[in-house]
Amino acid sequence: MKRKLDAIIIAAATCLIVFGLSAATLAQDALQDASDLHTIHIITPEWEAQTNRDGSGLFFEIVQAVYAPSGIHIKPTFAPWKRCQATVDAKKADAMLCVWKTHAAEHGQLIPDYPMFIERTAVVFKRASLLDWHGVNAMDYKRAVWLRGYNYHTDPHLASVQLVQWHEVDSHEEAWQQLNLDRFDFYIDALIDLDTYIQENNIDMGLYRKVVLWSQKSYVAFADTPKSRRLIDIYNRELPKLIKNGTLEMILEEYGQTFHADEWQ
């Protein structure tokens, strides 16, 4: 009988110790989570005029406008697109920028109720190579190039297009070179990136034609963590305020982007 009582006492003591350690760990995690809310660690490619290394740029300004009222500042890390996805998937960064809802779902990433940007996808090609543009199927049996990780060949908007070849490159400059050398017939990219490159490099658009293919909401995509859920709650609370008070429209117009309120619902 005494042995059974001793065993019960030992088991109870063990449970108390384990429970105490677990509670302490949870409390420590909660404190760490609270302290982490001073920053949002964003990993992103370096996109000129959107995510500059000095912390300026359209996307950084939008995100900072959302989180600044809560005393949260951006901690940026720069990497190629696929590495950004892998880092957020591994929960080694809080979020990445300009992600489509379908891509976020494929990676198990969390997104807010509201987008960060309305991304317009466009295609550019030499005028001499195609005299009659009649929609996306003008690209049938042609060759297309885009940035690594963008996966336009899987996009539903291009489901009916039968490319004979597609290729990924690591920079806008390389994509333009491939197009200029006639190695590819079409270059597909975000309109904002095409326009930035054209302006910065004085591209002669008398030689090229640019066509907008579609518009699509893009999001801040978060790692699946408790901290991210708190950051998303803040985003969902603050972004509508930026729409209502005109701050979002002002930021977009500063970077030459149009604002249509219905697109942000």
Read off the pLDDT of residues 195-214 as tens digits, 9 standing for 90 and up.
999 999 999 999 999 999 99
Specify the pairing of strand 95-100 against strand 208-222. Answer: antiparallel
- Rounded to 5°, the CA angle 134-140-142 comes to 115
Q: Are residues 135 and 186 in the same domain?
A: yes
Look at residue 27 and tell me whether its pLDDT is greater than 90. Answer: no
Task: Write out the two tokens for 194.
Answer: 């095409």
Task: Point out the domain boundary residue: 216, 240, 255.
Answer: 216
* pLDDT tens-place string over residues 65-124: 999 999 999 999 999 999 999 999 999 999 999 999 998 999 999 999 999 999 999 999
Whether 155 is in a domain gets the answer yes
Query: Which of 32 and 95 is assigned the larger pLDDT?
Result: 95
Whether 3 is in a domain gets the answer no
Query: Which of 144 and 103 is assigned the larger pLDDT?
Result: 144
Whole-number percent of the chain with pLDDT over 90: 79
Task: Point out the domain boundary residue: 182, 201, 216.
Answer: 216
Average pLDDT, the chain: 88
Look at residue 35 and tell me whether its pLDDT is greater than 80. Answer: no
> 191-229 burial, b for 16+ CB within 10 Å, e for fewer?
bbbbbbbbeeeebeeeebbbeebeebbbbbbbbeeebbe
Distance CA 265, CA 247 (A): 16
pLDDT of residue 138: 96
* pLDDT tens-place string over residues 216-236: 999 999 999 999 999 999 999
Output DSSP code: residue 204: -
Q: Are residues 56 and 99 in the same domain?
A: yes
Whether 42 is in a domain gets the answer yes
Q: Are residues 80 and 39 in the same domain?
A: yes
Q: Are residues 193 and 69 in the same domain?
A: no
Look at residue 261 and tell me whether its pLDDT is greater than 70. Answer: yes
Whether 4 is in a domain gets the answer no
Work out the pLDDT band at 5, boundaries 50, 70, 90.
very low
Work out the pLDDT band at 131, boundaries 50, 70, 90.
confident
Q: Are residues 128 and 205 in the same domain?
A: yes
CB atoms within 10 A of CB 176: 21
Q: Are residues 199 and 222 in the same domain?
A: no
CATH assignment of the domain containing 64: 3.40.190.10
Whether 11 is in a domain gets the answer no
Whether 29 is in a domain gets the answer no
User: Can you give the three-state secondary structure of 76-112, one letter per residue?
Assistant: EEECCHHHHHHHHHCCCCCEEEEEEHHHHHHCCCECC
Whole-number percent of the chain with pLDDT over 70: 86
CA dihedral of 232, 236, 239, 240, whole degrees rounded to 10: 180
Whether 6 is in a domain gets the answer no
| Helices within the chain (DSSP H only) | 2-36, 58-67, 81-89, 101-106, 172-180, 191-200, 226-244, 247-254
Look at residue 20 and tell me whether its pLDDT is greater than 50. Answer: no
Q: Are residues 225 and 101 in the same domain?
A: yes
Q: Are residues 207 and 141 in the same domain?
A: yes
Q: Are residues 42 and 113 in the same domain?
A: yes
Residue 127's contacts (CB-CB under 8 Å, 6 or more residues apart) are 206, 207, 208, 209
Look at residue 132 and tell me whether its pLDDT is greater than 60. Answer: yes
Whether 45 is in a domain gets the answer yes
Task: Point out the domain boundary residue: 193, 216, 239.
Answer: 216
User: Which of 17-21, 84-88, 159-163, 199-203 is predicted with the least confidence, judged by mean pLDDT?
Assistant: 17-21
Q: Are residues 127 and 212 in the same domain?
A: yes
Work out the pLDDT band at 36, boundaries 50, 70, 90.
low
Domain coverage including residue 259: 35-118+217-264
Q: Are residues 83 and 166 in the same domain?
A: no
Q: Are residues 149 and 211 in the same domain?
A: yes
The total number of structural domains in the chain stands at 2
